[in-house]
Amino acid sequence: MPTTLQFRRYDTANIANLTGAVGEVFIDTDKDTIVVQDGSTAGGFPLAREGAYIQANNARDQANSARDQANSARDQANTAYGQANAAYATANTKLNSSGGTISGDVQITGNLSITGNTVFNNVTTYRIEDPLIYLAGNNYSSDLVDIGFVGNYYDGSRQRHAGLFRDASDGVFKLFANLNPEPTNIIDTANASFRYAGLYVDSLFGSNVSITGGVDYNYFTEKVINVVATSANTTIDWSTGAIFDMNLASNTTITFTNPPPAMRARTISLIVRPTGTGTRVLFVQRARYTDGVAPVLSNTGNIDMLSFMTVDGGNTYFGSFVLAGLGFPAHPF
């Protein structure tokens, strides 16, 4: 029969307290490994199992791979460093601290901040995709500079300037021309060369338009508003026009709406065309007439014209019977 060779077996804790003879081996039953003794060292020296050896080799290989990757990253960083230095050197040759010129197209991704007093743009077409141009962006704590656009032109004898700006002194937008000195932050309206510029428009709209000085014009027309009075109450909106042409099909009471504010005077004309048979009665609320007598309208088939003015925001309307008993021309509506 084969002979079985066995060595002394202990758990790890017991072996740690034993000192075997030189060359003696113990079996560690916890670690399933051989522990070699040298006759003097308590616990001896455990031998590594095959699995641990394989793990150690794997760890070594992984460490070597990490080292190679680190070396590659170092090489890439060195390459990028060299490229950055080359770009820096090239940029310095193109645009150094004392200025320079870049030839060709330049594309910048991100924000561009420019510090200085003047930016020169020498281009044929200046195209901006943003729908609004924001001027005086740092004007948060005061209102001391004019805001607008100024252009330069030559009138045949000297340099002039024209533009549109908001005057900081009164907050009014002004269109100007002929100005000789080049403006800075303020348009010098007191300069002898300053002139207000003309403006041609097709239509001009505004709720309240104030005009200082005279107005020269060749002619102007006013829109005529058609009003049909077929019931006991009729509303006429002053904000829609100043000439109202009314078909008066029944007796009615007129209420005026949207008059100008107090201390603003305005007058409207009311053309009255009675229809049907007999005489129509027209009553205007808050209206006052000469000697307190309301006008008596003409019979149907004739035209009357009345005028009304207010200066107190519509509390009172001064009425006047302008024309009466005119023939009945064709209605324009």
Residue 107: both structure tokens together: 């594309």
- CB half-sphere exposure, 270, CA atoms < 13 A: 31
Q: Do 169 and 230 lie in a common domain?
A: no
User: Based on the domain organization, do 241 and 322 belong to the same domain?
Assistant: yes
For residues 10 and 18, the answer to whether their CB atoms sit within 8 Å is yes
CA 27 to chain centre: 83
**What are the pLDDT digits (tens) for 220-259?**
888 999 999 989 999 999 999 999 999 998 899 999 999 9
Element (H or E) spanning 268, and its range? strand 262-274
Pure H helices in the chain: 12-15, 50-94
Are 175 and 251 contained in the same domain? no
User: Which CATH number fits the domain that encloses residue 25?
Assistant: 2.10.10.30
Q: What is the pLDDT of residues 18-65, one digit of tens each?
A: 888 888 888 888 888 888 889 899 988 888 777 777 888 888 889 888
Is residue 73 in some structural domain?
no
pLDDT in tens, 196-218: 998 888 877 776 677 777 777 78
Neighbours of 277 (CB within 10 A): 9
Is there a contact between 286 and 314 (Cβ–Cβ < 8 Å)? Answer: yes
Residues 187 and 263 in one domain: no
Percentages helix, strand, coil for the chain (3-state, rounded to 5) are: 15, 30, 50
Q: Which of 255, 269, 188, 266 is nearest to 225 (CA)?
A: 269
Asked, for residue 270, whether it belongs to a domain, the answer is yes
Are residues 295 and 304 in contact, defined by beta-carbon separation less than 8 angstroms? yes
Q: In b/e form, how buried is each residue of 151-178, taking b as 16+ CB within 10 angstroms? A: eeeeeeeeebbbbbbbbbeeeeebebbb
Residues 158 and 235 both lie in one domain: no
* pLDDT tens string 258-283: 999 999 999 999 999 988 777 788 89
- 76: in domain: no
Strand, coil or helix: 232: coil
Residues 6+ apart with CB under 8 A from 163: 148, 149, 150, 151, 175, 176, 183, 187
pLDDT at 1 over 80: no
Count of structural domains within the chain: 3
| Residue 27: inside a domain | yes
| pLDDT of 49 | 76
pLDDT in tens, 148-171: 999 999 999 999 999 999 999 999
User: Is the pLDDT at 87 greater than 90, yes or no?
Assistant: no
Taking CA atoms, 106 is separated from 54, 93, 102, 103, in Å, by: 58, 16, 8, 9
Q: Same domain, yes or no, for 157 and 241? A: no
Looking at the structure, tell me whether residues 319 and 234 fall in a common domain.
yes
Domain that holds residue 288: 224-326
Tell me if 284 is assigned to some domain: yes
DSSP string, 20-32: PPTT-EEEETTTT
Q: Quickly state the pLDDT bin for 99 (edges 50, 70, 90).
A: low
Please indicate, yes or no, whether residues 190 and 283 belong to a single structural domain of this protein.
no
Beta-strand pair 224-229/243-248: parallel
Percent of the chain surpassing pLDDT 70: 94
- DSSP state letter for 279: B
Indicate if 302 and 230 belong to the same structural domain: yes
Q: Both tokens of residue 88?
A: 């820096």
- Give the rounded percent of residues in the chain with a pLDDT score beyond 90: 40
Q: If you average pLDDT over residues 138-147, what whole number do you get?
A: 89
In a domain, 151, yes or no: yes
State whether 183 and 251 are in the same domain.
no
209, part of any domain: no
| Domain shared by 175 and 249, yes or no | no
Q: Are residues 185 and 231 in the same domain?
A: no
Structural domain includes residue 202? no
Amino acid 32: pLDDT: 85
Q: Is 292 left (phi over 0), alpha (psi -120 to 50) or beta?
A: left
Could you tell me whether strands 33-36 and 45-46 are parallel, antiparallel, or unpaired per DSSP bridges?
Answer: antiparallel
**pLDDT of amino acid 97:** 63
pTM to 2 decimals? 0.51
